Structures are given as structure tokens and as C-alpha cells.
Structure 1
Amino acid sequence: MVDQPGAGVYPEYWEADVVLRDGGTAHLRPISPEDAEALQAFHTSQSETSIYMRFFSFKPRLSSKELRRFTEVDHKDRVAFVITIGGEIMGVGRYDRLGDPTEAEVAFNISDVQQGRGIGSILLEHLAAAARENGIRRFTAEVLPENRKMLRVFADAGYELARKFDDGVVSVEFNIDPTEKSLAVMESREHRAEARSVRDLLAPSSIAVVGASRRWGAVGHQLLDHILEGGFTGAVYAVNPEAFELAGMKSFARIAEVPGPVQLAIIAVPYEEVPKVVDECGAAGVKGLVVATAGYAEDGEQGLRRQKDLVRRARSYGMRVIGPESLGIVNTNPDVSLNASMAPKLPRRGGLGLFTQSAAIGISVYAAASRRGLGLSSFLSAGNRADVSGNDVMQFWEDDPDTSAVGLYLESIGNPRKFSRLARRLSRSKPVIVAKSDVTGLRLPPGHVVRTTLAPAAALDAMMRQAGVIAVETIEQLMDVAQIVSSQPLPKGPALAVYSNSAALGKVVADNAAPQGLVVDRIVTDVDLDAGMSAARDQMRRSLTQNLSDDAVHAVVAAMVPSRSLTMEVIAGILAECAAEAGKPVVAAFTGVLDASVQLDGLLTPGGASGPSLPCFSSAGTAVAALAAVVRYAKWLDRDQGMVVEPTGCDREGTREHIERLLSSVTGEQLVHLDAGEAAALLSRYGIQVVPSAVFESDDEAVAAAERLGWPVVLKTTDPALRHRLDLGGVRLDIEDADSLRRNIAQMRRVLEPYGSSAIEVQAMVPVGQACTFRAIEDPLLGPVVSFGLAGDAVNLLDDWAHRVPPLYAADLHDFIRTPRASLKLFGYQGLPAVDVAALEDLGARLVRLKDEHPEIALVEFNPVLAGARGVKILAAEVWIGNAAQRTDSARRAMLG
């Protein structure tokens, strides 16, 4: 957790690397007194027009007094950010709090040579985030009418502007709380910038291989050879100070000697030489780096320091980094034809985009795709993923016309909330397949430097399901699904026709399909494939066409055993042609093939490169499982997700002030437990009501509390382990008068004495209902995680929880309450009355919004919540608050690392 900045305390966590509009990078940080000389240099390099626009008059130099005022800020009432490239200031943005403590005046100055790169909008986002943190809610600015660029920055930010013209100056005012429009604008700018940065890496106009080598088998030798053999369409340069000629081309000692501009540098030198090479690349104007060199974060603390220095050094020049320890990149578009990887040849062109992390996994994924004949659009191995991540590549794939489906193998996740947002958007147009292990997010592989999660393992899986991701566990499962979505149309429903030349096999496949959520409409086993080649071919085609043309059939699984009349290739050709004609997915499983040389798992194109393809499997069970995953994705895609649920009556600003007051004397990572009254007061600001209770010392206090709360009442111990245990004497129900209350108090104290617990509270009796529980935490990796289950053994012993990560759409909220296996008890199970599920959904929505908007709330637990036929009642609420760690998905653009 991070302390809030105080006056004069440098807020280091405000520093950020950012991606500019054109895909380059820059560093943003708070200004400091040491910047005086650099600020003066920035000022004197500006044109007279720019100076006049900023200061409303021309001043060739800033005075000593002005330099002190501009660089000596308190980071609270006066905040200033600078954006630097190569250590030089390229833009300055600042705010000064006005007489109204909730209002500040904002001003900007952008370098003449850097205008048009989106620096002003990035400065505004970060200033607004800092201002909100310091209790400011409104910005004002005075702008000369002719300063159209700055007026455009304000107008395009997505805020509601109020303008007025007075005395030759345009005055602008706007509320800086994030709005749906301002967040959409930020996400759109972020998307364009990050997509552009990856596009420039995957489709460079020129490449230099630094560390190219004559030695066969050396990394530099292979990379240069593969780029040339792959037919890269741009200029290629070899850089090696010890060689005059490499691969039949002139070699250069340093990148500065290369005669033409270099957009992408492939670095394959020992790690001790990398810093010098990065500096030389930055000085030469290189836009991006692929670092194949190992010896970084996977090599302990010293390697981690080298990795951080690599990224910091590259970004200071505006360069992005793939790696280190990257396997390389591939782009099969014939206009690029780039194989800057360790793979010996450019893969077949296709619609699948692949992203991997560590080099070893990258090799495995690449080999699996190649072995199955899957065509790729692009491939990126991020290695240690110090900079360019799966999130960046998804931004690129969303706009890439060559990519129709994407696959990612994730060993760790740096920014899951952003991943969820991007994956949900990308999944609306292209299938997103993610392979991850059971410990992804829980443990880090060597070389990965991100946070880990404390949330239940199922929370990450739930987040992916919300986003429409097709989640799998292994590389092979990723390829199983990929070969279907990259070659077949999506099924329009779950109805399946099982097609086989074996009745026994067809029955087995059908039995396997039902538990996967598929509906077996028919089993077709009446085709005689041993009736002679011509007759068998015609009969199979007629049967397939007839079944595929039926609207009741959405997909076909063809499970075939070897035939004497038709070869596997002929059968595959018929299946592929019929599928293409019908516009429905068909998958094939060829079982019983004894010839080990026959490749059974993969994408077959029986009619040649221009013909339709067929996904084939050696196991019918594997085929069914892969198709079922695609059916679930198609169902998610076809479902109306609704809007983000935002219940009314939620006092966000009042809650923020309430929490700030409670935390005013709290420092560091200390957590504060709110007493019942304070917790109820805080929750009520979001329309969450807790049934009141009262702790007492004497019997007379208990009677007085019961009179105040209303009879009948309940007695409960305050011991968290016993307060819900009627069987252990921790609860006594339906006490109707004072005499009965006194007797029950005495009996309860005797029963609880062996447990060492004597504190008791009294609470009004509420109508009976189904006991449920809600829990919400602030996780260091996932951010807010909200959980729901049915109280008691379901969650305590069986771990029967539903987990969700905000924001929740209407469909997410609907599924949230219905996901626990025990949720059947909410809908009239075994004759019990159904509960008010709408009220449970409303409570869940309010808790989700509360937790999403206030990360200072570290933990909330409602246990039990009694759900009755009309409404729900919260009988106990636990709330813990603390200084929130800065979320990586806040309303400002920033790169990790």
C-alpha cells in the first residue's frame, strides 16, 4: 500500500512511462527543483508564438524567481508534471489550487517539435488523477482564442466543458471526475497508441541485427539468416565490429554507421554489452528493440536490476522493448514477410495471432502450431515481458485485418483489469484463447516481475469467463481450439450431430458430448464406407449435406474409423467441402489409425492451399472438448451482455470524504476495523442497510436495547467462529419478552463459557430465509474481487463460491448469483419457497460498485445475509479500510515496468 502524498513529499508512484500517439514512448514524472536548468533550456528552445500562447506575453528567459516557482511545488496544492524523452523536457503541465479548495487552474506548455504526439492529453489525464487524489474536483484554464490546439485538448478529453469569452481570453471550466465519455476517450487514445507501437515493431521498414555473427548456430547468425531467408521486404543491416562481411552483405561496426534509418534493432550481444547498444540505438533514432539476450530477471537480483535498467534506458529514448530473452517476432503478411525469430522458416500464412512469454514456452507454442499446420498472421515472443505485453499485442490484433483469432500463453499477468477490458472488447470480434496453468497469478516463473494474487484461484478464471475468453490449461488445448476457430464458422447453438461409420463409436462420442454442454440432436451411423470408392463417396456426401442442411443441427463431430474404400484424405476432403457449403462447423476425429507416420492432429486442407480446411484430431474426446469450448464462446458472443450495472442512490463523493476522515490519522499499511455503527453508516451511503444490533454488559442494558430494537429479538455471541452456530449455542432465536431474554442470557453465558467467549449482542428478529454470504477484497493483482455463496457448509467446507471482478455487466450479475452449485436452493429447491433473487442481485450490485469505486475498503463481509421471499436482510457486516495501493487501471495512461 502507498501513503498519500503530503506537502513537499515527492510522490514517486506518480512517475510513469507512457505510449505517445505515434507509438513512441516517453517518461512522465513530477517536476523537482533539480529541473530548473532543464526547464530553462526547454523554455528558450520554444518559439515566440508558443511562449506567448503560454504566458500571454513574450519572455525570452524565465527569471530565477519564476524558475523556483515553477519547479518548487508541494505536490498537493501545486502540482507539475514533465514529460521527458532522452532526459530532455518535451512538455510541462501543472495545476495550482485556487481559493475554492476543490478547484484548480491548469496550464500546459508542449515543445514545438513534439506537438501532435498527444503529450497534452496525457499530461491532462495525469494531472486530473493527481488532483482527484488531493481532493480537487474541478479544473479551470485561461486560453487565448488563437491557441486552438490547447482548446482542442480540453474539448477532446471527454469532460463537460463550460466556456466563456471575456477580455480577449477564453475561460474553460470542467469537472474532472471520470465520466463514461472521458474514460472512453482515454481508452480510445490508449488503443490507438499501443496498437501503433506494436504495428511498428511487427511491420518495420528496416531492421538491423546487432550481434550478427559468422558462427553457425549463434543466435545472431540464425536471426540474420532467418530474416534474409524469410524474404523480409525492408532494408536489412548487419552490425558487428569484428566482421567486414556477413551473409553476403556488408557489416557495420556500429549502428551509427548504418547508411539508412533503422526502425527496429534485433539485439543478440552479451548482456554486459546491451546498455551500450541501447544507447547507440537511441542516438540513431531506432524506434523499437527485440532483445534476444538472456541473463536478466531470470538471473536473480542482479539480473533484475539489469532488466529494469534496460527498460528505463530504452524508454528514455522513446523505444519499446520486446524481451529480454525473446524468441523473436514473425509477420507473415507478404508486404512484410518477417521472420525475426529462431524458427528456421517463415510459417504458413493464416489468421491466427500468437503471443507467448518465456522463450521455452514460445518454442513449444510455435512448434505446436507448425506441427498442426496452423497458419499464422503474426507471432510475438515477449520473453521476460519487461515491456511489450499481451495487452499491447491485443490492441494491435483488434485492428489487424490479417488476424481472425488470437492465442496467448500466459505464465503471469501484469495488469489483469486492463487485460479483462481489452479481452472483452477483442472477443466481440475475434476469438481469444488463453492458456494458463493453475498457478498463473499465484506463483511467478523465472524472469517475470509482476505482482501475485491473494484472491482465490477461481477469481482469475471467473474474470476471463466474464471477458469471453476461451480459457484452456495447456498448449495442446490451445491448439485444439485454435484449429477450429481459425478454419470453421462459429456454431449458432449447441445442437450436435454425431457422424460415424461405427455405431459403437458414435454412441461413445454422444455420451461424451452431453457433459460438455452439447446437445446431441442425432447420431448418424448408417453410412457404409466400404461400399466401393465411388458409392461410398456419394453416399457420405449426400448424408452429410442432408444433416448439415437441417436447422436443428448446429455442428457436426465426425468420428471415423479406417475404411477400406475411402482414405483419410478423401474423407477429410468430403467433410471440409460439405462444411464450407453449409456454413457450419465440422470437426473430425480419426481413430484406429495404426500408421505412426500419419499426422492426425492438425488442420488439413485436402483440396490444396485454396480449398477449405478441416480441423482433425486423433481423439474424439479431444475434438468434442475443443468444440464445446467454441460453443460456449459463441453463446457468450450471441448473448446480450447488457450495460454495466450502476445502482442508484450511491453517494460516491460522500463515501470518499467519509473514508478520508476515518483514515486521516492512519499511516503506512495499517488496516482499520470499523465498529458495527461506523460500518453500517458507511455502507448506508450506497443503499446497503444492516439490521442494527447492540452489545450489552448487563441484563438491563439488553432489555433496554430489545425495547429500542423491537420484539422479538435474537441473542448472538460476537465471537466470529460461533456467532452463526445455533448448534453450539452461539445463537438463540425468537425471544419475545424481557423475562425470556434474561433467562436466555444466563443460559447462553453458561453454554459459551467453555469457549472463553462471553460477549453477547441483541438484534431484532427478522423473517426466516436462506442464509447467504458476500465478501469483497482489494487484491494486489486483480484489484477488487467480489464473492458470493450460500452460508454454512457450502462455502466453509466445499468452497462453493462465485467470484467476479468489477465492472459487472447485467449478464455478469445475473450469473454471479446463480454460479454456486448450492444456488439451486434460492429457486424453490425441494419444495422450499423461492427467495427474492432480484434483491440479492441489487445487494451484489451495490457491493460491487462500492468496492470498485473505493479501493481504500480492503475487506467487506456480509455474513449472514438472509434472503427471504421479499427482500434481503444483512445481519452482520465486517468492514476493514486502509490506504489503498495505487491501481494500475486508474484514469490515466501508464505502462507497467
Structure 2
Amino acid sequence: MSDPAAPPATGALVAEPPPHWAADVLLLDGGTAHIRPIRPEDAPALEAFYARVSDRSKYYRFFAPRPRLSPRELALFTRVDHTKRIAFVMELAGKIIAVGRFDVVHPGEAEVAFLVEDRHQGRGIAQILLEHLAQAGRERGVRRFTADVLPDNQRMIATFEAAGYQVMGGVEDGVMTLGFDIDPTTTAIGVMQDREHRAESAAIAQFLAARSVAVIGASRRKDSIGEALVRNLVAGDFRGRVHIVNPAAESMRGLPAYASVGEIPGEVDLAIVAVPAEAVQDVVLDCAAKGVKGLVVISSGFAETGDEGRQRQRKLVGLARSYGLRLIGPNCLGVINTDPAVSINASLSRNMPARGRAGFFCQSGALGSAILDKVNARGLGLSTFVSAGNRADVSGNDLLQYWEEDESTEVVLLYMESMGNPRKFSRIARRVSRTKPIVAVRSGRTTQGVPMGHQVRTSTTPPGAVDAMFRQAGVIQVDTLEEMFDVAQVLAHQPLPAGRRIAIVGNSDAIGLLARDAAASSGLVISHQTNLGARASADDFESALLEATGSDDVDAVVAVWIPPLNASAAAPATALATVAQKSTKPIVSTFLGEKGVPSQLRVADVDGGAAGRGSVPSYPAVESAVRALAHAVEYAVWRRMPQHEAAELQVAPEVGRAVVDRVVENATRGRNLEYAESRDLLAAYGITLWPSVGVDTVEEAIAAGSDLGWDVVLKATADRFRQRPDLVHSWRHIRDADEMKQAWAMLRARVDRPDEAAFVVQPTAPEGVPVSIAAEEDALFGPVISFGIAGPVSELLGDRSWRIPPLSVNDARAMTREIKGSPMLFGYRGSDIADVDAVEDLLLRVARLKNDLPQVHSIVLPLVLAGREGASVLSSSIRVQPVTDARVDWFARRLTPLPGDTLH
């Protein structure tokens, strides 16, 4: 690529780059690297990098032989202004492995170029550099990239085409000139997220499909952590090779011991680290030198211990990532994969769970052991298990990416003590839930608290918003671990119900009544109930079950069997199991008061694991059975809803962005928009802001009424009046100057401090239900939108619905219907039915605006009248401020930042 026009090599830096331009990134093969803006002091490292690049790659970059860079060129390439000349380097193990840059050649247009070290080509590096350069460009007002490429440089041409942008160009003088807009189109975002999925899935596969494992810190001392790790690997019948690393031992359990990882012959995929916390960093360096791909750090003594531990943890993760390693932990239980081809128990748990269909992710190491005990007791079985401990690097989002493609995992179970990137979780979970149910327990749900060692941003979003985000993503949220396993048993062993209609079949009237009450409170419809009585036989039980499962009016069956004294359970168990194996409808039971999947009701799995498909789960309490079934019903209903991406709207983001940019340019700390600015910004997104004229005198009020054509409203708009219906602060239907004089005098007499009342004149709006819409930028969630009936009662009761943009049409419909005040929109007590479609369209447009423009810190439409035809936006409050921090789920891939970084 030709050299860009550039200032003299001695030119001074113009600005400092924003901190969020630096990030750890994940490459396509699951390895990590660090990307950051270039610095003048990078000249020696850039020279060394250039020396490692092949002559062919250099030729493709400069279109001519250039064996080395001159001192002037080194200064030119490393001294940039971070505004019109931006360059990023990618580092691995402290060395530059790639460089990407752009130089503005025309307003809004920049020329882009890349150079990647040959041995790292094919790892998706150029695509990541392009993403980060494009994001930096958008922040600097660049809207289009151009690139000069030799026609035979197919790798670079493919990079631009594969990015999802529409590339157009021609050939002149033997050089192909490509050009493409860098606005994040749906296609470009989809390509980025697909690469993210592949990279994160590959990273987890390195842990769960390892073929060679080194236990570092192994000890012959009985009941030590190191001894337990080796014992569990061997006892779990690991199919790969186990290596012992202990300088003080020669052998252990018949395996040779090595003084360091580097002495192990052959490759090592995974290292299990159980050394004192202060020694872990040295282990990382040894593993990096050996080429280890992943670390599971069992060791404690990190962020869970306080400030010193937090610093140690930050250094640990930073060091691991800088050498291309992913890390699970620290302070974790370990990982398990029950696949017979792997059979790895790299954990402190003696219990290797049976092969099953559920993947389990948790954070607490101590809780992990209890979870595995419960899994075994219920006969549930797991495909894989990961305890992330302090969740310093690998998180539940990574596991979701892996489980999405893992054929062995049909149900995902999450025990979440904190969320580092809920926006990303929402995006991935929405996709995964379409094919695999996700059941989650979230501790600290009420208190919003997180355990020691979990570093997350402080969120101002209420708990209800998090619950709504889970519903939006189709996640089945439950309150306890017991309830999680209750639901998992249905999902792992029975088909999904087709609807809410259930049949209750049993031999106990009392328990049948409890089932009926539980069904009613869970939103299920009882379409069929058979009370067989205490004298019923197994044949009676089977006949009733067959009748229920065969009925077109039944979607699921709750079976209850409490045998009479001294009666055998074998015959009714056979009856229940026989019907269940033939049924296409889910059956849950209260059978002998047992928990889990009783042996009598268990269908053998094809690979000899835990209970297989068709097994009937049993619950000691029928209420638990019904609640578990109800969760499965709600999930099935969500999954059957049409799958929509973000709603397609006719909007003009570039117009809105121009409004925002003008304000930000002159207000470094941000400010609230004036009426005209708010009107223009909203109009860019198809939202009409009701005309409003601020007035300070009666003469101005009369003039405003005349200009607006009369039939106007005079009202006080100061904050103290907005949520006070007890204060009379408006006068409607003013038709001429005399009525305006009367209204002016009366209102000024009624309100306190009239000179501070902020009077405005507006045309009288059509009657309607007052609703409010708000969207804000949350430090943890990114953009969040909420909706409710306007007024202090709704605010006090917290009667608002919440979602995370982008919104689908179904999301907007759910928002208007799930608040307790929703009947007011649908003709409550004979009132007019509001134009709810118009309200939902408004929600979609506000969400799109907030999602597109992060400089819009908050947007509030405090009074929208939802009338019979349309929705009138009477007022707005919009605050705009510069972006000082990247969203945690931006248009460029990045790993969760380290604690103490700009994002955490």
C-alpha cells in the first residue's frame, strides 16, 4: 500500500488517545494478544518487528522492495496525532506482531493499511485491527475507509470483503483501490460476532478437550491440593497424558515428576496450577515458554483476600493474556468433561459426575463441590462443568459460546454470583436460548452485592432491569439451586410442552388439590384431572395416563402416585415409565416422594451415562413438580415466538450524530439539549417533539399563542411540578389573548416561586394516557430503556418495564404489557383504548437512538400522551456528553478489561 501523505517526521503529538482504545483481544485460534495505540517510544520494537516480516509481505505493504525502515520512516510511523493519523499495534509476549493505521485524506475519509508478521497470519489479526481502527475512526468523524492493494494480495482483499462491509473499487496502474463505508451495518456486526463466537468457543475447547495436562504443585502429601488433583485426574480415567511438576519429587502415583514445565517432553495443552499465590506468576512464564494454551489456577490468595490480592490477580491475568494464554480462576474448583473420549476431571472434586446433557458453570469453588454432590444425588448427569472462581478471565459468556455448538450439551445451567458484561450476556443468551434452554440462579439478586474477588462496574440499574434482561434473552431465572435442578430435570429428560394446558393424574385427592393450586398460581391451565383414589391399581394408573397424554386438550401431565401401605411400587412404576417412553408430551411426577430420577423411572442413556431421554423426573412435593413444569412452559412459549432481530426503522443516524457532535464539540463536560436541539435529534429518528415555546411574560405568552394558532396550553415545567398531580400547574384550551391573560394571572397566583416556574406555551394535545419513556447509559449494562405510566404512583411502586437495546418488535410489545398499569392502555373501566402500536414504535425509536449514539448519556420523555390515534411527545430531557469510556460490548471485539482498567 502506498505511503500516506504525512507531516514531517518531527511533528509533535496533538492529543492523547482515549484509554479505551487499548484492549486485550482474542484471536481466531483462542489465543490472546494486546492491542493499543502506537507510541513514539515504539520505534525500536517496530524496527525489530519489521525485520521479522518477509520480503513478500513488505512488498505487498509498500508496493516496492523496502528491506528496512529508515529513522525518518520509523519516526513518521510512530508519531501520530490520534485524530487524523491513528495507528494501533498488536503485541504478544512484549513484541509487536502487527500494525494497522489510517490517515485521513479527505474530511470523513481515511486510507487504511495493515502489516502482520508472517508467522501470525491466518489468526484473524487483520480483521481485529480493522474493527478497532473503524471504531476509532467513527469516534473521530471518519465514515469511510479506502485502501490501495495489489491485485494478487488475495489475503488482504479477503480481509476487507470478509469484514461484512460492501467493498467497491477498480484497478488503475496495476493497483486495486478499494473503498467501503465503516458504519456498523447488520452484516458487519454479524460477521464480527460470528468471529467472536468461533474464537471464544476455540478458547474453551482448549480447556475441555485437552490431551496433555500438567499439574503444577503436585504433592505426595496425602489430602493436599496437588495430590487431590493428580488423584482425580487418574481416577477419572483421563484419556490424555498427566504430567507432574514438582522440583522436590521424582515420581508420584507411578508418574515421573519434572522440576519445571519446560522439562516435560512433548506438548502440554493445559496446566493446573496449585502453588502459593506469590509463585503463580513465575508459573505463567514457564507455561508460556512451553507453549501451554490454557491455565486453571486453583490457588487462592488473590482478589478474594483484599487490595493486595486484587493487584496480584490483575498482574496475573495481564501477564497470562500478554503471552497469549486464557485463564480459569483463580481460587476455583477446576473443570470437568465427562465425554468418554476425554474423561477429564481436572478439579478438586472426588465426584466425577455421570455423563449427562447439562453443562454447568459456577463461580464459587466451595459451592462447586456441593453442586456436584447434588447432581449425582439426582441422577442428572453433566456434559461439562466449569468453576471459574474469581472469574478473572474466562466467564460464563465464554462457556455459552462453547456450549452453543457442543452437541453433548442440551441444557445450560448457570450459577452466577456476578456479571462482568451483562450486555454481551444478553446478546449471546438470546441466540443460544433459541436452541438450548438456559437455567440461571443469580445470587445477590435483591442486594446487588457481589462476592469478594469479583471486580465489576457499579450499576445504577434496579434489580428489575436485570430480571427483564433475562426474560428478554429467554433465560429461565430461578431463585435457588434446588429449583434449578428441578427445572433441569424436566428439560434434560422430557420434551418441551406445546402449551399451558395440563392434566393431573393421581391416586391422592389431597395432593391433587395441592397440584391444582400450584398450577393456578403458576399460570397453567388445568384441562383434565383424574383422581383415581387410594384403591387404584397400576392398570388404572396406566389407563388414566394414556387417556391424558392422548388428549388433544392436554400439553403436559403431572402424575402423582402414593402407594397404599405394604403395596409394591414396581407395577405403577412400570406403568408410568411405559407411558412416558411413548408420550410426546412431558410428564413430571410425585412418585413415592422421591427426588431426582428414581431408578424405576429411569431410561438408560445410549452412552451409559445418567438417566436418558424419556426418564420421568420425580419431586418430593407436587408444588415443585408443577413449578418446574411451568418454567418449561414459559420457555417453550418464548421459543415459539417469531425470531426478530432489531426492528427495521426508517431513521437518519447521521443527522442525529451531527446534532450530537456539534454539542459535544463545544461542551467538553456535556450539557442538556435546548428545545430546538432536542427537536432536531428526535426528528432524525422519526420522533416528533410537540411544539413548545418558553415564556417569561404575559406578552410573550400571548405572542406564542398567536404564533401557534391558539387552542394552546400554558404550563409550568420546572422539575418540582413534573411529578406532582396535586399541583395545578397547567391551563388548557386557551383560545385568545384575553384567556391567556386570565390563565397567566391564575397560574402565577397558584404556584410558588412563579418566576422560577419555567412557563411554556404549547398547542393543546389530544387526550390520552400519560406514559413515560427513558433511556440511559449504565456503566455496567450500556444502554438501558424503560417504560411506565407517567406519574408519582408508578415511580413509587417501581412499576416500569426494562430492556436492553437493540429491541425487537416483540420486546416492545412485552414492555407495554408487563407493567401492572398496562390495563390503562387497553380500555380500563370503559376508557378509550390507546394506540399501543404508536407507543411501541416510539419505544423502538428511542431504543435505536440510544443504541446508535453513546454520546446521548440519557434521554427522558417524561410525558407522552397515548391517545386513540397516535402518541404525542409533549416534553423531553436529553443530556449529551463526550464518550470517555467504551461500552463493554462495542463494535470491536475485546476481552473483559482487567480490574483497575478503564472498564472493569
Q: TM-score range by the shorter chain?
A: over 0.9
Alignment check: 8 A CA contact 1:226 1:342 kept: yes
Q: Distance in 1 between matches of 2:888 and 2:600?
A: 45
Q: Does 1:488 align with 2:497?
A: no
SS state of the match for residue 720, structure 2? coil
Q: Distance in 2 between matches of 1:115 and 1:45?
A: 13
**After the TM superposition, which residues 268-287 of structure 1 pair with which residues of structure 2 at under 5 Å, given as runs?**
268-287=274-293
Deviates more, 1:775-784 or 1:673-682: 673-682
Q: Distance in 2 between matches of 1:525 and 1:486?
A: 28
Q: Distance in 2 between matches of 1:756 and 1:575?
A: 78
**After the TM superposition, which residues 192-207 of structure 1 pair with which residues of structure 2 at under 5 Å, given as runs?**
192-207=198-213
Q: Does 1:664 align with 2:701?
A: no
Alignment check: 8 A CA contact 1:413 1:441 kept: no
SS state of the match for residue 721, structure 1? helix
Q: Distance in 1 between matches of 2:852 and 2:302?
A: 37
CA drift at 1:473:
1.8
Alignment check: 8 A CA contact 1:691 1:875 kept: yes
Q: Deviations over 1:490-535 (max 9, x none)?
A: 111111001110123212211220221111111111265x45xxxx
CA drift at 1:440:
7.2
Alignment check: 8 A CA contact 1:646 1:849 kept: no
Partner of 1:109: 115
Deviates more, 1:362-371 or 1:253-262: 362-371
Partner of 1:813: 812
- 182 and 428 in structure 1: CA distance in 2 versus 1, 3 angstrom threshold: same
Q: Does 1:46 align with 2:53?
A: yes
Q: Distance in 2 between matches of 1:322 and 1:281?
A: 14
Q: Distance in 2 between matches of 1:755 and 1:371?
A: 71
Q: Does 1:381 align with 2:376?
A: no
**After the TM superposition, which residues 637-648 of structure 1 pair with which residues of structure 2 at under 5 Å, given as runs?**
637-648=639-650
Q: Distance in 1 between matches of 2:435 and 2:27?
A: 26
SS state of the match for residue 409, structure 1? strand
Instruction: Give the letter for the 2:564 counterpart.
Output: S
**After the TM superposition, which residues 124-139 of structure 1 pair with which residues of structure 2 at under 5 Å, given as runs?**
124-139=130-145
Q: Distance in 1 between matches of 2:598 and 2:435?
A: 22
Deviates more, 1:801-810 or 1:9-18: 9-18
Partner of 1:634: 636
Partner of 2:417: 411
Partner of 1:190: 196
Alignment check: 8 A CA contact 1:442 1:452 kept: no
Partner of 1:91: 98
CA drift at 1:794:
4.2
Alignment check: 8 A CA contact 2:505 2:532 kept: no
SS state of the match for residue 68, structure 2? coil
Alignment check: 8 A CA contact 1:686 1:850 kept: yes
How much identity, in percent, do the aligned residues show? 45
Partner of 1:696: 695
Alignment check: 8 A CA contact 1:537 1:566 kept: no
CA drift at 1:793:
4.5
Q: Distance in 2 between matches of 1:590 and 1:582?
A: 18
Q: Deviations over 1:353-409 (max 9, x none)?
A: 000112133233323222222110000001111111101000100110110101011
**After the TM superposition, which residues 615-764 of structure 1 pair with which residues of structure 2 at under 5 Å, given as runs?**
615-648=617-650, 650-667=651-668, 670-723=669-722, 725=724, 727-753=726-752, 757-764=756-763
Instruction: Give the letter for the 1:621 counterpart.
Output: E
Which of 48, 61, 70 pairs up with 1:63? 70
Partner of 2:604: 609
CA drift at 1:438:
4.7
Deviates more, 1:218-227 or 1:764-773: 764-773
Q: Distance in 2 between matches of 1:748 and 1:201?
A: 71
Alignment check: 8 A CA contact 2:49 2:97 kept: yes
Deviates more, 1:292-301 or 1:263-272: 292-301
Q: Distance in 2 between matches of 1:551 and 1:718?
A: 59
Q: Deviations over 1:433-467 (max 9, x none)?
A: 11113537933211001113211211111111111
CA drift at 1:730:
1.6
Partner of 1:859: 858
CA drift at 1:568:
4.8
SS state of the match for residue 889, structure 2? coil
**After the TM superposition, which residues 746-785 of structure 1 pair with which residues of structure 2 at under 5 Å, given as runs?**
746-753=745-752, 757-785=756-784
Partner of 2:890: 890
Q: Distance in 1 between matches of 2:871 and 2:30?
A: 51
Q: Distance in 1 between matches of 2:34 and 2:618?
A: 49
Q: Distance in 1 between matches of 2:86 and 2:71?
A: 19
Deviates more, 1:693-702 or 1:286-295: 693-702
Q: Distance in 1 between matches of 2:575 and 2:782?
A: 51
Q: Distance in 2 between matches of 1:515 and 1:754?
A: 51
- 569 and 283 in structure 1: CA distance in 2 versus 1, 3 angstrom threshold: farther
**After the TM superposition, which residues 764-843 of structure 1 pair with which residues of structure 2 at under 5 Å, given as runs?**
764-843=763-842
- 712 and 127 in structure 1: CA distance in 2 versus 1, 3 angstrom threshold: same
SS state of the match for residue 733, structure 1? strand
**After the TM superposition, which residues 211-290 of structure 1 pair with which residues of structure 2 at under 5 Å, given as runs?**
211-290=217-296
Q: Deviations over 1:847-896 (max 9, x none)?
A: 11111111111221112211111111112211111123311211111101
Q: Distance in 1 between matches of 2:571 and 2:663?
A: 74
Partner of 1:596: none
Q: Distance in 2 between matches of 1:185 and 1:608?
A: 42
Q: Distance in 2 between matches of 1:374 and 1:506?
A: 26
- 724 and 277 in structure 1: CA distance in 2 versus 1, 3 angstrom threshold: closer
Alignment check: 8 A CA contact 1:140 1:174 kept: yes
Q: Distance in 1 between matches of 2:464 and 2:42?
A: 48
CA drift at 1:237:
0.2
Q: Does 1:544 align with 2:511?
A: no
Partner of 1:12: 19
- 430 and 573 in structure 1: CA distance in 2 versus 1, 3 angstrom threshold: farther
Instruction: Give the letter for the 2:389 counterpart.
Output: G
Q: Deviations over 1:688-709 (max 9, x none)?
A: 1122222222211111111112
Q: Distance in 2 between matches of 1:710 and 1:129?
A: 47
Q: Deviations over 1:84-110 (max 9, x none)?
A: 111111111111111x12111111111
Alignment check: 8 A CA contact 1:406 1:431 kept: yes
CA drift at 1:756:
8.3
**After the TM superposition, which residues 295-334 of structure 1 pair with which residues of structure 2 at under 5 Å, given as runs?**
295-334=301-340
Instruction: Give the letter for the 1:336 counterpart.
Output: V
Q: Distance in 2 between matches of 1:208 and 1:117?
A: 26
**TM-score calculated relative to the size of structure 2:** 0.94
**TM-score calculated relative to the size of structure 1:** 0.95
SS state of the match for residue 666, structure 2? coil
Q: Does 1:209 align with 2:211?
A: no
Q: Deviations over 1:62-86 (max 9, x none)?
A: 1101111111111111111111111
Q: Distance in 2 between matches of 1:183 and 1:690?
A: 31
Alignment check: 8 A CA contact 1:230 1:346 kept: yes
Alignment check: 8 A CA contact 1:716 1:723 kept: no
Q: Distance in 1 between matches of 2:520 and 2:739?
A: 57
CA drift at 1:821:
1.4
- 358 and 235 in structure 1: CA distance in 2 versus 1, 3 angstrom threshold: same
CA drift at 1:655:
1.2
Partner of 2:582: 581
- 537 and 671 in structure 1: CA distance in 2 versus 1, 3 angstrom threshold: same
Q: Deviations over 1:700-749 (max 9, x none)?
A: 11111111122222221122222464532222222332222212222222
Q: Distance in 2 between matches of 1:624 and 1:568?
A: 22
Structure 1: unaligned runs, 5 residues or longer: 1-5, 594-598
CA drift at 1:320:
0.4
Alignment check: 8 A CA contact 1:773 1:791 kept: yes
Deviates more, 1:562-571 or 1:472-481: 562-571
Q: Distance in 2 between matches of 1:314 and 1:893?
A: 18
Q: Distance in 1 between matches of 2:59 and 2:576?
A: 72
Instruction: Give the letter for the 1:680 counterpart.
Output: R
**After the TM superposition, which residues 426-575 of structure 1 pair with which residues of structure 2 at under 5 Å, given as runs?**
426-439=432-445, 442-526=448-532, 530=535, 536-564=537-565, 566-568=567-569, 571-575=572-576
Deviates more, 1:639-648 or 1:368-377: 639-648
- 440 and 193 in structure 1: CA distance in 2 versus 1, 3 angstrom threshold: farther
Q: Distance in 2 between matches of 1:574 and 1:128?
A: 64
Deviates more, 1:296-305 or 1:271-280: 296-305
Partner of 2:365: 359
Partner of 1:26: 33
Q: Distance in 1 between matches of 2:459 and 2:598?
A: 37
CA drift at 1:590:
4.0
Structure 2: unaligned runs, 5 residues or longer: 1-12, 606-611, 899-904
